[in-house]
Amino acid sequence: MTHSAATLTNSSRLWSSIMRIAEIGAIEGNGSCRLSLTDEDKEARDLFRFWVTAAGCEVRVDNFGNIYAIRPGARDDLPAVLIGSHLDTQPHGGRFDGVLGVMAGLEIVRALNDAGIETEAPIAIVNWTNEEGVRFKPGLTGSCGFVGALPGGDESSISSSDGSRYYAELARIGYAGQDRPPQISTYFEMHIEQGPVLENAGATIGIVEGVQGVRWFEIDFLGQDAHAGTTPMNNRRDSFLAASRYALGFLERAMDIDPDVRVTFGRVEVEPNSTNTIPGRTRLVLDLRHIDEHVLDRVERLMADQGEPLKKLGFGFSINRIMNVRPASFNRDLKDAVEKVASSLSMPSLRLPSGAMHDASNLAAVVPSAMIFIPSRNGISHNPLEWSEPMHVGDGCEVLCRAVLEAAKA
């Protein structure tokens, strides 16, 4: 592909940085596992901190463990242009999800240093804490805290899957900061698409229109433990079968409301979890997504209605909403600016929504924000097979760099 101007960023250096981070928490199949606030997460954070310090950045860590690396501008009284994503991964994660956005920010700072380019406003890179939400809930913890969307903002508002305490783990790995985050004017996040749309369309750059709203729920079904061999089928209160019927019926009715709704029962917990005991308690963890908040409201009301027949059959039934990320729309001027940059570099672009949640959806509520996607091979993500071509990685970073320079007034 021929670009209309010499590149500012070094795609080989960017690729090397991504591959170096991937070595931390490496798993079989060339994937990575760096759950938030584990030793592997600490190692990746330490390496990032080393790199940005070497690049001349001031490093700050706030009370949520978010790391900010600030490159000074000619006018440090101006708010910074923020670039970022996350370094934590899924248990069977790939090498690009989240990491790409943080390393692209690092490469931009390095490239501007190499070229001796001074911006009027500061440029900052951020690594948001616990974006994935695997070990601690809610996900997007760091960006939720940054924008004031974490209820309470204390230990009671964050739950753990392994009994760990969020703030204690921050302290254990050395990232229980008290620094004040930088004031920001604009936020950019670069990410792999995690879907097949760009690849199928032959587009290099995805300009993200907005992010679907995401709500997570814990749905509990209470029946009665009983012996698997001695209890007749018509005398049972099997919580798992009740949960199964509920899930299938709910899905069908939700699709009737809007076929574009996304319903995923991604986690099932059964107690006592014994082969020869009828399960007395089952918990379904539901991931619900849609771009329209009114549709989400209607589907959420349906959740309670769907449980009424179970109550009449003698089952205990309760719903607990554990996360709510509102649908986000990105800034029109920034989207246009990214599209203009891609066109100037002869890179085909495509506007599309994001089906996955991102920290940018939180930032969009408080500052003008934009997201850039690059293609994902076969649309695979949250999997060691996750892959984006080196050319696409470099092209995306170049577009991001030029959009950032425009926002920071080079």
**What does the pLDDT average to over 294-323?**
96
Q: Per-residue pLDDT for 307 more than 80?
A: yes
Contact status, residue 388 vs residue 376, Cβ threshold 8 Å: yes
> What's CA 241's distance to the chain center, in Å?
32
Tell me what pLDDT residue 4 has: 43
Q: In this structure, what token pair is assigned to residue 164?
A: 């760990």
pLDDT computed for residue 255 by the predictor: 97
132 is in an annotated binding site: yes
Nearest-angstrom CA–CA distance, 178 and 156: 19
What pLDDT shows up at residue 3? 42
Task: Report how far apart, in Å, the C-alpha atoms of 391 and of each of 11, 138, 222, 350 are.
Answer: 8, 34, 53, 17
Tell me the per-residue pLDDT of 360-377, one tens digit each, with 9 for 90 and over: 999 999 999 999 999 999
Q: Which of 90, 83, 7, 31 is nearest to 52 (CA)?
A: 83
Q: Is the pLDDT of residue 151 over 80?
A: no
Q: Is 97 one of the annotated binding-site residues?
A: yes
Q: Is the pLDDT of residue 41 over 90?
A: yes
pLDDT at res. 291: 87
Q: Taking residues 219-232, what's their average pLDDT?
A: 98
Q: Is 382 annotated as a binding residue?
A: yes
Nearest-CA neighbor of 125 among 37, 52, 74? Answer: 52
Average pLDDT over residues 320-348: 94
Q: Which amino acid is at 338?
A: V
Express each pLDDT in 50-65 by its tens digit. Answer: 999 999 999 999 999 9
Which residue has better confidence, 170 or 155? 170
DSSP class of residue 235 equals G
Q: Which pLDDT value is given to residue 351?
A: 97
Q: How far apart are CA 111 and CA 109, in angstroms?
A: 5
pTM assigned to the model:
0.83
Strands 328-329 and 213-222: unpaired
Q: What is the mean pLDDT of residues 171-181?
A: 97
Segment (H or E) for 191: strand 184-192
400/186 Cα distance (integer angstroms): 13
Distance, in Å, from the CA atom of 383 to the CA atom of 405, rounded to the nearest integer, reads 33
Range with lowest mean pLDDT among 50-64, 87-101, 314-328: 314-328
Q: For residue 378, count CB atoms less than 10 angstroms from its CB and return exposed for 0-12, middle for 13-18, buried for 19 or more.
A: middle
Would you say residue 320 has pLDDT above 80? yes
92 is in an annotated binding site: no
Query: For position 324, what pLDDT does the model report?
Result: 85
175 φ, ψ to 5°? Answer: -125, 35
Give the count of alpha carbons within 13 A of 41, CB side only: 29
Mean predicted confidence (pLDDT) in 145-150: 93
Q: For residues 97-115, give the mean pLDDT.
A: 98
What pLDDT band is residue 2 in, cutting at 50, 70 and 90? very low
Q: Which residues pair with 277 in a beta bridge?
A: 227
| Band of residue 153 on the pLDDT scale cut at 50, 70, 90 | low
Dist CA 82 CA 68 (whole Å) = 9
Domains of the chain: 11-212+327-408 (3.40.630.10), 214-325 (3.30.70.360)
pLDDT the model gives residue 150:
86
Using alpha carbons, list the distances in angstroms from residue 132 to 98, 264, 384: 9, 16, 16
Mean pLDDT to the nearest integer, 247-261: 97
Q: Is a pLDDT exceeding 60 seen at residue 1? A: no
Please list, in sequence order, all residues whose beta carbon lies within 8 angstroms of the beta carbon of residue 166, skipping any fewer than 6 positions away.
37, 130, 136, 141, 155, 158, 160
Q: How confident is the model at residue 161 (pLDDT cuts 50, 70, 90)?
A: confident
Q: Tokens 């179970």 map to which residue?
A: 310
Query: What is the rounded distance in angstroms from the CA atom of residue 9 to the CA atom of residue 18?
Result: 14
Rounded average pLDDT over 247-269? 96
The CA distance from 252 to 232, in Å, is: 30
CB 95 within 8 A of CB 18: yes
Q: Which residue from 36, 4, 8, 82 is spatially nearest to 407, judged by alpha carbons?
A: 82
Give the pair of three-digit tokens for residue 151.
């209820």
Q: How many percent of the chain have pLDDT more than 70? A: 98
Q: CB–CB of 111/8 below 8 Å?
A: yes
Residue 355: pLDDT band with limits 50, 70, 90: confident
Q: What percent of the chain has pLDDT over 90?
A: 91
- CA distance between the termini of the chain: 26
User: Using alpha carbons only, what angle is made at residue 209 by residues 381 and 133, rounded to the nearest 5 degrees?
Assistant: 40
pLDDT confidence tier of residue 312, bands split at 50, 70 and 90: very high
Higher pLDDT, 250 or 137: 250
